[in-house]
C-alpha cells in the first residue's frame, strides 16, 4: 500500500485476499481478517478498493489445508469453487469484509466465475451474511457492490448476462489468456505459447468491454497485459479505462496513457480486431 500510495495509485484495483491466508500457518480468524481489511481501507483514505474473495488452488496452495489431490489444479478446486465447497471459510471472509467496509463504499468481487449461476450463488451467500450480521446487530455494510471476474472463456460468452446482473466486471487478463489458450501460465516450457495478443484474446476482451458499456457498468482490466506499452493502446481503444497493475508499473503505464489519443486508439483497436493471425497482430503491434 505504501508503494502504491507513493506512486500515486488512484485505488486498489484488485486486492488479492489470499495473501493473508497464504502467509499464515492456519486459517486467519474472522477477527484477524477484519483487522487486515480494515487497515487497507483506512490506509487508502477513501480511494477505491476492490476486494477479491479468496483465490486459492491452482498454484496458490495453503500449506495447512491439504485439500484434495488434483492432477490438474488449475482446472480443479480453485477460487470461487473452493469458496463454494468450503462455505464456512467463505462466510467468515465475507463477514470480515462486510464488517470492515461498514461505513465505506465496499466492493467485493469473485474470482473464476464461470456462469451467471455462480455469480448468483455467491451473491446469495453475501446476502445471507448481511442478514445474519443484521440479526446480530453487528455494524456492517448491507449493500456492497458485487462484481464478477472475467477469467474464463465461459464467462466471456455470458459477459452480457453477467454485466446485467453485476455491479461491475473485472477482467483477470492473466487467467483469461491461460484459459483461452489452454496454456498453463506457470509452465516455463510453454511460455512461448502464452500469447496475450492472440486474436481470440483480443476479440474476447473487446466483447467484455462492450458488454459493460451496454449495461452501463464499469469494467476494469487487471493483469500483466496492461503493463505492456505496445498492448495498452489496444485496451484503451476497446474502451477500457480502469487498469490494475502491480504498483511498480504505475509510472510507466501512466506515461504511456498520457500519450494516447482516444480516437486513434479506437481506430487502432478496430484494425487489430479484424486480424485473424497471430503474426498479423504482431506486425501491427510491432512485437516479435
Site for ligand PEP, rule CB under 6 A:
14, 16, 55, 151, 172-175, 222-223
Residue 16's binding partner, choosing from Mg ion, ligand PEP, none, with beta-carbon cut-off 5 to 8 A by kind?
ligand PEP
The site partner of 213 among Mg ion, ligand PEP, none (C-beta below 5 to 8 Å per kind) is none
- State the nearest-atom distance from the C-beta of 58 to ligand PEP, in Å: 8
Query: From the CB of residue 208, how many other CB atoms can be counted at a distance below 10 Å?
Result: 25
Shorter beta-carbon distance to ligand PEP: residue 101 or 111: 111
CB of 172 to ligand PEP, least distance (A): 3
Rounded CA-CA distance 22/13 in Å is: 20
Find the part of the chain contacting Mg ion (CB under 5 A) among 151-159, 163-171, 180-188, 273-281.
Answer: 151-159
- Tell me which of 18, 92, 118, 175 binds Mg ion, using CB under 5 A: 175
Instruction: Write the DSSP assignment of the chain as a string of letters.
Output: -HHHHHTT-SEEEEEETTHHHHTSSSPPPHHHHHHHHHHHHHHTTT-EEEEEP---BTTB--TT------S-GGGSS-THHHHHHSHHHHHHHHHHHHHHTTTS--EEEETT--SHHHHHHHHHHHHHHHHHHHHTT----SS-EEEEEE-SHHHHHTHHHHHHHSSEEEEEHHHHHHHHHT--TT-GGGGGG--TT-HHHHHHHHHHHHHHHHTT--EEEESGGGG-TTTHHHHHHTT--EEE--GGGHHHHHHHHHT--HHHHHHHHHHHHT--SHHHHHHHHT--
Minimum Å distance from CB 189 to Mg ion?
Answer: 21
Binder of residue 222, out of Mg ion, ligand PEP, none (CB less than 5 to 8 A by kind): ligand PEP
Residue in this structure with the C-alpha cell 474472522, named with its chain if needed: 30
The whole-angstrom separation of Cα 255 and Cα 240 is 17
Smallest gap from Cβ 224 to ligand PEP, in A, equals 7
C-beta of 74 vs 90, nearer to Mg ion? 74
Of residues 13 and 130, the one with the C-beta less far from ligand PEP: 13
Stretch that binds Mg ion, among 46-54, 62-70, 115-123, 167-175 (CB under 5 A): 167-175
Q: Closest approach of Cβ 71 to Mg ion, in Å?
A: 21
Picked from ligand PEP, Mg ion, none, the partner binding residue 228 (CB below 5 to 8 A depending on kind) is none
Estimate to the nearest angstrom the gap between the alpha carbon of 123 and the chain centroid. 16
Query: What track of x and - describes contact with Mg ion for positions 125 through 144 (by CB under 5 A)?
Result: --------------------
- Least distance from C-beta 267 to ligand PEP, angstroms? 27
* Out of 101, 172, 218, 237, the residue judged to bind Mg ion by CB under 5 A: 172
For ligand PEP, give the closer residue by CB, 55 or 130: 55
**Can you read off the three cell numbers belonging to residue 39?**
487497515
Residue 276 DSSP class: -
Q: Out of Mg ion, ligand PEP, none, which partner does residue 14 contact, by CB within 5 to 8 A per kind?
A: ligand PEP
Note the residues at the interface with Mg ion (CB under 5 A).
151, 172, 175
Amino acid at each position: 500500500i505504501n508503494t502504491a500510495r507513493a506512486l500515486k495509485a488512484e485505488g486498489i484495483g484488485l486486492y488479492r485476499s489470499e495473501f493473508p491466508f497464504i502467509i499464515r500457518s492456519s486459517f486467519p480468524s474472522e477477527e484477524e481478517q477484519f483487522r487486515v481489511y480494515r487497515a487497507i481501507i483506512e490506509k487508502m483514505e477513501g480511494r477505491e478498493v476492490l476486494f477479491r474473495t479468496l483465490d486459492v488452488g491452482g498454484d496458490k496452495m495453503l500449506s495447512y489445508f491439504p485439500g484434495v489431490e488434483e492432477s490438474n489444479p488449475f482446472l480443479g478446486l480453485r477460487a470461487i469453487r473452493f469458496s463454494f465447497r468450503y462455505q464456512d471459510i467463505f462466510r467468515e471472509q465475507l463477514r470480515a469484509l462486510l464488517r470492515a467496509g461498514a461505513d465505506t463504499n465496499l466492493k467485493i468481487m469473485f474470482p473464476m466465475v464461470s456462469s451467471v449461476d455462480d455469480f448468483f450463488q455467491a451473491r446469495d451467500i453475501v446476502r445471507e451474511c448481511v442478514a445474519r450480521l443484521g440479526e446480530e446487530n453487528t455494524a456492517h455494510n448491507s449493500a456492497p457492490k458485487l462484481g464478477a471476474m472475467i477469467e474464463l472463456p465461459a464467462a466471456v460468452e455470458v459477459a452480457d448476462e453477467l454485466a446485467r446482473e453485476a455491479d461491475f466486471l473485472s477482467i483477470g487478463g492473466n487467467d483469461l489468456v491461460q484459459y483461452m489458450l489452454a496454456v498453463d501460465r506457470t509452465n516455463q516450457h510453454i511460455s512461448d505459447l502464452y500469447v496475450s495478443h492472440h486474436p481470440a484474446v483480443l476479440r474476447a476482451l473487446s466483447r467484455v468491454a462492450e458488454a459493460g458499456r451496454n449495461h452501463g457498468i464499469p469494467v476494469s482490466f487487471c493483469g500483466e497485459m496492461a503493463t505492456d506499452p505496445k498492448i495498452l493502446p489496444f485496451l484503451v481503444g476497446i474502451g477500457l479505462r480502469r487498469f490494475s497493475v502491480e504498483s511498480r508499473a504505475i509510472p510507466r503505464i501512466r506515461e504511456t496513457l498520457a500519450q494516447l489519443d482516444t480516437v486513434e486508439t479506437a481506430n487502432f483497436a478496430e484494425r487489430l480486431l479484424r486480424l485473424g493471425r497471430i503474426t498479423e497482430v504482431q506486425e501491427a503491434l510491432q512485437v516479435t
